[in-house]
Chain A
Amino acid sequence: MKNQKDMKTKSVETALNSEEPKEQKPQQQEVESNSDSSYEVFSGDDSSEDVGSSEESDSAESGSSGDEDFVNEGDSDGLENSGREDDGSEISDAHEGVEESDSSEDEVAPRNTVGDVPLIWYKDEPHIGYDIKGKKLKKKEKEDALGSFLSRVDDSNNWRKIYDEYNDEEVELKKDEIRLIRRLLKGKAPHPDFDPYAPYVDWFKYEDAKHPLSNAPEPKRRFIPSKWESKKVVEYIRAIRKGWIKFDKPKEEPHFSLLWADDSGLTEKANHLAYIPAPKPKLPGHDESYNPSPEYIPTQEEISSYQLLNEEDRPKFIPRSFTTLRSITTYENAFKDCFERCLDLYLCPRVRKKRLNIDPDSLLPKLPSRKDLKPYPVTCYIEYRGHKDAVTSISTEASGQWIASGSTDGTVRIWEIETGRCLRNWEVGEAVHSVAWNPSSEHPILAVSLGPDVLLLNTGLGNEEQQTKVKELLHVETPTATHESGERTSIVSWLRDDKYEGIRLRHFKTVSSVEWHRKGDYFSTVMPAGESRAIHIHRLSEKFSQRLPFKLHGLPVSSTFHPTRSHFFIATKKTIRVYDLLGERKLIKKLDTGFREVSSMAVHPAGDNLIVGSKEGKMCWFDTDLSSAPYKVLRCHPKDITNVAFHRSYPLFASCSDDCTAYIFHGMVYSDLNQNPLIVPLEILRGHTSSNGRGVLDCKFHPRQPWLFTAGADSVIRLHCH
Chain B
Amino acid sequence: MDIDGDTEASSRRVQVRFITKLEAPLKVPTTSIAVPSNLTRFGLSTIVNNLLEARNPDWEAEPFDFLIDGELVRMSLEQFLLAKGITAEKILEIEYIKAVAPRKEEDPSPHNDWVSAVDGSSPGYILTGCYDHLGRVWKASGVCTRILDGHSDAVTSVSTITPEGAKSVTVATGSKDRTVRLWKFDAEEPVNHPLKIRAFKILRGHKASVQSVAAHVSGKMVCSGSWDCTINLWQTNSLVMEGDLVSTKKRKVNDQVDESQLEGEALSTLVGHTQCVSSVVWPEPESIYSASWDHSIRRWDAETGKDLSDIFCGKVLNCLDVGGEGSALIAAGGSDPVLRIWDPRTSAPVFQFASHASWISACKWHEKSWFHLLSASYDGKLMLWDLRTAWPLSIIESHNGKVLCADWWKGDSVVSGGDDSNLCISSAIYV
Contact = CB atoms under 8 A, between A and B. Distances in A.
A463 B275 CA distance: 18
A721 B253 contact: no
Contacts of A705: 293, 316, 335
Given A401-B227, A421-B419, A721 B208 contact: no
A418 B402 contact: no
Interface string A387-429: 0000000000001110000000000000000111100000000
B209 to A, nearest CB: 7
A418 B359 CA distance: 10
B359 A382 contact: yes
B114 A381 contact: no
- A-side binding surface: helix, strand, loop or mixed? loop
Given A420-B402, A463-B178, A401 B316 contact: no
Interface in A296-334: none
Contact of B315 (A418, A463, A722): A722
Contacts of A420: 378, 402, 419
Interface string A432-465: 0000000000000000000000000000000110
Contacts of A401: 208-209, 227, 276
Nearest to A374: B314
A400 B275 contact: yes
A135 interface: no
Contacts of B336: 381, 721-722
B358 interface: yes
Contacts of B337: 381
Interface in B187-225: 207-209
A721 B178 contact: no
A351 to B, nearest CB: 59
Interface in B388-431: 402, 404, 419
Interface in A538-559: none
Contacts of A721: 315-316, 335-336, 359
B404 A463 contact: no
Given A382-B378, A421-B114, A375 B178 contact: no
Contacts of A161: none
A704 interface: yes
B178 to A, nearest CB: 6
B318 interface: yes
A215 B335 CA distance: 129
Nearest to B209: A401
Interface string A375-387: 1000001100000
B419 A419 contact: yes
A708 to B, nearest CB: 13
A420 B404 CA distance: 11
B207 A463 contact: yes
Nearest to B252: A464
Contact of B253 (A382, A399, A421, A464): A464
Contact of A375 (B114, B227, B253, B314): B314
Given A375-B314, A381-B359, A721-B336, A419 B207 contact: no
A75 to B, nearest CB: 115
Contacts of A704: 275, 293
What is the size category of the interface that chain A forms with chain B?
A: 10 to 19
Contacts of B316: 705, 721
Contacts of B419: 419-421
A400 B276 CA distance: 9
Given A399-B227, A463-B178, A705-B293, A418 B318 contact: yes
Nearest to B211: A418
A419 B208 contact: no
What is the size category of the interface that chain B forms with chain A?
A: 20 to 34
Contacts of B278: 418
Contacts of B131: 421
B187 to A, nearest CB: 30
Residue of A418, A420, A707 contacting most chain B CB atoms (<10 Å): A418
Nearest to B315: A722
B249 to A, nearest CB: 15
Contacts of A375: 314
Interface string B310-331: 0000111010000000000000
Nearest to B207: A463
Interface string B229-269: 00000000000000000000000110000000000000000
Interface string B267-300: 0000000011010000000000000010000000
A224 to B, nearest CB: 111
Nearest to B316: A705
Contacts of B318: 418
A5 B116 CA distance: 149
B151 to A, nearest CB: 15
A463 B177 CA distance: 8
A32 B208 CA distance: 141
Residue of A419, A420, A722 contacting most chain B CB atoms (<10 Å): A419
B306 to A, nearest CB: 25
A555 B182 CA distance: 60
A418 B168 CA distance: 35
A382 B293 contact: no
B204 to A, nearest CB: 9
A381 B275 contact: no
A707 B336 CA distance: 12
Contacts of B253: 464
B133 to A, nearest CB: 13
Contacts of A722: 315, 335-336
Given A401-B208, A463-B178, A705-B335, A419 B404 contact: yes
Nearest to B253: A464
Given A401-B209, A464-B253, A705-B335, A382 B358 contact: yes
A381 B358 contact: yes
Nearest to B228: A399
A235 B131 CA distance: 122
Nearest to A465: B207
Nearest to B116: A419
A381 B208 contact: no
Contacts of B315: 721-722
Contacts of B178: 463
A341 B79 CA distance: 73
Nearest to B113: A421
A376 to B, nearest CB: 12
B81 to A, nearest CB: 37
Contacts of A382: 358-359, 378
A420 B278 CA distance: 16
Contacts of B114: 419, 421
Nearest to A419: B404
B250 to A, nearest CB: 11
Residue of B227, B359, B404 contacting most chain A CB atoms (<10 Å): B359
Contacts of A421: 114, 131, 419
Nearest to B275: A704
Contacts of A707: 335
A399 B206 CA distance: 15
A689 B177 CA distance: 37
Contact of B208 (A399, A418, A464): A399
A400 B209 CA distance: 12
A90 B358 CA distance: 140
Interface string A129-157: 00000000000000000000000000000
Given A399-B227, A704-B293, 4 more contacts: A381-B359, A401-B208, A420-B402, A721-B336
Interface of A: 375, 381-382, 399-401, 418-421, 463-464, 704-705, 707, 721-722
3 nearest A-B pairs in the assembled complex, by CB-CB distance: A721-B335, A381-B358, A381-B359
28 contacts: A375-B314, A381-B337, A382-B358, A382-B359, A399-B227, A399-B276, A400-B276, A400-B293, A401-B227, A418-B318, A419-B114, A419-B402, A419-B404, A420-B402, A420-B419, A421-B131, A421-B419, A463-B207, A464-B253, A704-B275, A704-B293, A705-B293, A721-B315, A721-B316, A721-B336, A721-B359, A722-B315, A722-B336
Interface of B: 114, 116, 131, 178, 207-209, 227, 252-253, 275-276, 278, 293, 314-316, 318, 335-337, 358-359, 378, 402, 404, 419
